[in-house]
């Protein structure tokens, strides 16, 4: 099997962050044909990503934030294999898009795992497991978070980023991924690639503005909210550093935590049709 070529597209106004992220991807994609495209003057992420898409020559495109740290030496190998079966992969997402927040439907619709620096102690890492059903890649995804998105170039070209409606810094990712889902493309979420994201989202007045735009655009397509008021967002844990985080980021630990979530919260979701089956070896 020949290796696909990769194009990494990043919008960044921070020279140091861009340099660090570029070095990261050079290392992750070492030995694989790749290019790194930096957009440093984008008025919005959608506009910047569209410019990057127009310049990209790779078979597979990685649209990435500049503050992501991926800790998997098999990153390129995994993507090369998995993108034969998917059109878009992310690291956190939902099987039920009901609202302009990808995590609004709550568990058991959420999938993926992401770590963030703890706000009260940055050397500690807050690990969020949204759901590991289907390990190592969850199917049935409708929308994903945009911290890092891997997409087949022809799929990205067919849909593009809506820079007219999403002319700021919010919801470009939900729009892009949900548009791909609506167009019949296959989305997945990787659970087995350790990743640290330095930011955890900004849900300010600007986010509300674009949430209204998203709702107006997709009101007739979003699924109804069938969940009761209790919406657990998965499981979280705090680890003292990267070594401890990596020691727990494995199939056995994450699948058992996912199974524990099923047993704890499934009775609270009788109206929710999404009920992931236990994974082999985790009962």
**Cα separation of the two ends of the chain:** 36
pLDDT in tens, 85-114: 999 999 999 999 999 999 999 988 999 999
> What is the model's pLDDT at position 274?
43
Q: What is the mean pLDDT of residues 190-201?
A: 92
Domain chopping of the chain, boundaries: 6-224+231-268
Q: What is the mean pLDDT of residues 37-59?
A: 98
pLDDT in tens, 211-265: 999 999 999 998 888 666 567 789 999 999 999 999 999 999 999 999 999 888 7
| pLDDT exceeds cutoff 70 at 281 | no
pLDDT band, very low/low/confident/very high, at 199 (cuts 50, 70, 90):
confident
Which of 12, 49, 9, 51 has its CA nearest to residue 173? 49
Q: Characterise 22 by phi-psi region: left (phi > 0), alpha (psi -120 to 50), beta (else).
A: alpha
> What is the model's pLDDT at position 200?
75
Q: How far apart are CA 181 and CA 89, in angstroms?
A: 12
Half-sphere exposure of residue 181: CA atoms within 13 angstroms, side-chain side: 24
| CB-based contact 116:196 (threshold 8 Å) | yes
| pLDDT exceeds cutoff 50 at 283 | no
> What is the model's pLDDT at position 267?
61
Q: Which of 158-167, 203-212, 217-226 has the highest mean pLDDT?
A: 158-167
Percent of the chain with pLDDT strictly greater than 70 = 92
| pLDDT exceeds cutoff 90 at 60 | yes
Beta strands in the chain (DSSP E): 6-11, 34-39, 60-64, 68-70, 88-90, 92-94, 110-117, 125-131, 137-138, 143-144, 148-152, 187-190, 195-197, 235-239
pLDDT in tens, 121-152: 778 999 999 999 999 999 999 999 999 999 99
Percent of the chain with pLDDT strictly greater than 90 = 80
Of residues 283 and 170, more confidence is placed in: 170
| CB-based contact 87:152 (threshold 8 Å) | yes
pLDDT band, very low/low/confident/very high, at 201 (cuts 50, 70, 90):
confident
| pLDDT exceeds cutoff 50 at 280 | no
| pLDDT exceeds cutoff 90 at 10 | yes
Tokens standing for residue 137 = 């890649």
Which of 61, 250, 75 has its CA nearest to residue 160? 61
Helices (H), 86-204: 153-159, 172-182
Measured torsion, CA atoms of residues 145, 126, 268, 251, in degrees rounded to the nearest 10: 80
Looking at the domain covering 6-224+231-268, what would its CATH class be? alpha beta
Of residues 163 and 108, more confidence is placed in: 163
């Amino acid at each position: 099997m020949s290796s696909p070529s990769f194009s990494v597209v990043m919008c960044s106004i921070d020279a140091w962050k861009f340099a660090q992220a570029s070095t990261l991807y050079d290392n992750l994609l070492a030995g694989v044909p790749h290019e790194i495209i930096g957009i440093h003057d984008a008025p919005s992420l959608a506009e910047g990503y569209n410019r990057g898409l127009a310049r990209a020559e790779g078979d597979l495109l990685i649209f990435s934030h500049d503050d992501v740290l991926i800790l998997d030496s098999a990153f390129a190998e995994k993507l090369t294999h998995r993108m034969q079966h998917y059109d878009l992969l992310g690291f956190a997402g939902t099987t039920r898009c009901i609202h302009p927040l990808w995590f609004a439907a709550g568990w058991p619709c959420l999938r993926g795992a992401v770590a963030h620096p703890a706000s009260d102690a940055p050397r500690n890492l807050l690990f969020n497991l949204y759901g590991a059903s289907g390990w190592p890649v969850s199917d049935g995804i409708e929308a994903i978070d945009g911290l890092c998105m891997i997409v087949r170039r022809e799929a990205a070209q067919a849909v593009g980023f809506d820079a007219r409606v999403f002319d700021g810094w919010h919801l470009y990712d939900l729009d892009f991924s949900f548009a791909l889902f609506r167009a019949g493309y296959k989305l997945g979420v990787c659970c087995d690639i350790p990743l640290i994201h330095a930011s955890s989202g900004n849900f300010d007045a600007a986010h509300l503005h674009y949430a209204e735009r998203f709702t107006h655009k997709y009101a007739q397509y979003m699924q109804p909210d069938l969940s009761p008021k209790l919406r657990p967002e998965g499981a979280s844990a705090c680890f003292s550093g990267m070594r401890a985080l990596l020691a727990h980021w494995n199939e056995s630990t994450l699948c058992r935590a996912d199974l524990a979530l099923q047993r704890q919260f499934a009775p609270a979701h009788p109206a929710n049709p999404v009920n992931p089956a236990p994974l082999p070896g985790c009962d």
